[in-house]
């Protein structure tokens, strides 16, 4: 090896930082000035294009993040109410047990109460809540009026069938009789 080959070769890792524009029109004439002006214009165009690409990429990235969040929320809502049909199939069974409790006594009544308690416990763990609007002001979003009876105007006087909510959403309105003042 000769002494020229032994020298470490310097590698420029940032080639864009050493661009220098010198006015060399005296040495090269007007053609050089025209060429450098063209190059400066081209650099400006490319910088603008790069800025547009960056802005577009940032917008697309933000939109992707928003879509992902909306998808996660939709999936969460889906999971929150996925059991609604199954619950609506089980609720009539609870109604039947309520009727059986009204006519049962002794050990049979205790057995039915145990079964109902277990069913209600499982439903509550899954976000289901039974409600009875007896004595409350009639709310058509939570109850369905099937008759009017003498009593305090606009109040629920009798609950025929309890209502059910799933995660605060009414999945079955209560069936009620609403009070009406006789005239």
**Which tens digit of pLDDT belongs to each residue from 23-42?**
555 555 568 888 999 999 99
From residue 154, alpha-carbon distances to 7, 62, 164 in Å are: 99, 51, 21
Positive or negative: CA dihedral 23, 24, 25, 30: negative
* pLDDT tens, residue by residue, 61-103: 999 999 999 999 999 888 888 889 999 999 999 999 999 999 9
Mean pLDDT on 131-139: 96
pTM of the model: 0.61
Q: Which of 135, 133, 159 is nearest to 146 (CA)?
A: 159
Question: With bands split at pLDDT 50, 70 and 90, how would you rate the model's confidence at 1?
Answer: very low
Q: Where are the domains of the chain?
A: 24-81, 84-180
Topology of domain 84-180 in CATH is Nucleotide Exchange Factor Grpe; Chain A, domain 2 (2.30.22)
Alpha-carbon gap, residue 88 to 120, rounded angstroms: 13
């Amino acid at each position: 090896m000769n002494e020229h080959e032994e020298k470490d070769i310097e590698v420029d890792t940032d080639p864009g930082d050493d661009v220098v524009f010198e006015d060399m029109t005296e040495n090269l004439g007007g053609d050089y000035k025209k060429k450098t002006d063209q190059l400066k214009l081209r650099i400006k165009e490319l910088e603008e294009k790069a800025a547009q690409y960056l802005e577009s990429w940032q917008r697309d990235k933000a939109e992707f993040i928003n879509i992902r969040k909306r998808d996660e929320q939709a999936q969460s809502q889906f999971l929150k109410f996925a059991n609604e049909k199954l619950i609506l199939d089980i609720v009539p069974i609870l109604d039947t047990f309520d009727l059986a409790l009204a006519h049962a006594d002794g050990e049979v009544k205790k057995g039915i109460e145990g079964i109902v308690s277990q069913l209600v416990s499982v439903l509550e763990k899954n976000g289901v809540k039974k409600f009875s609007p007896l004595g409350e002001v009639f709310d058509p979003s939570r109850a369905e009026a099937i008759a009017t009876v003498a009593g305090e105007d606009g109040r629920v006087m009798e609950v025929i069938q309890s209502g059910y909510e799933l995660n605060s959403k009414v999945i079955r309105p209560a069936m009620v009789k609403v009070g009406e003042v006789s005239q």
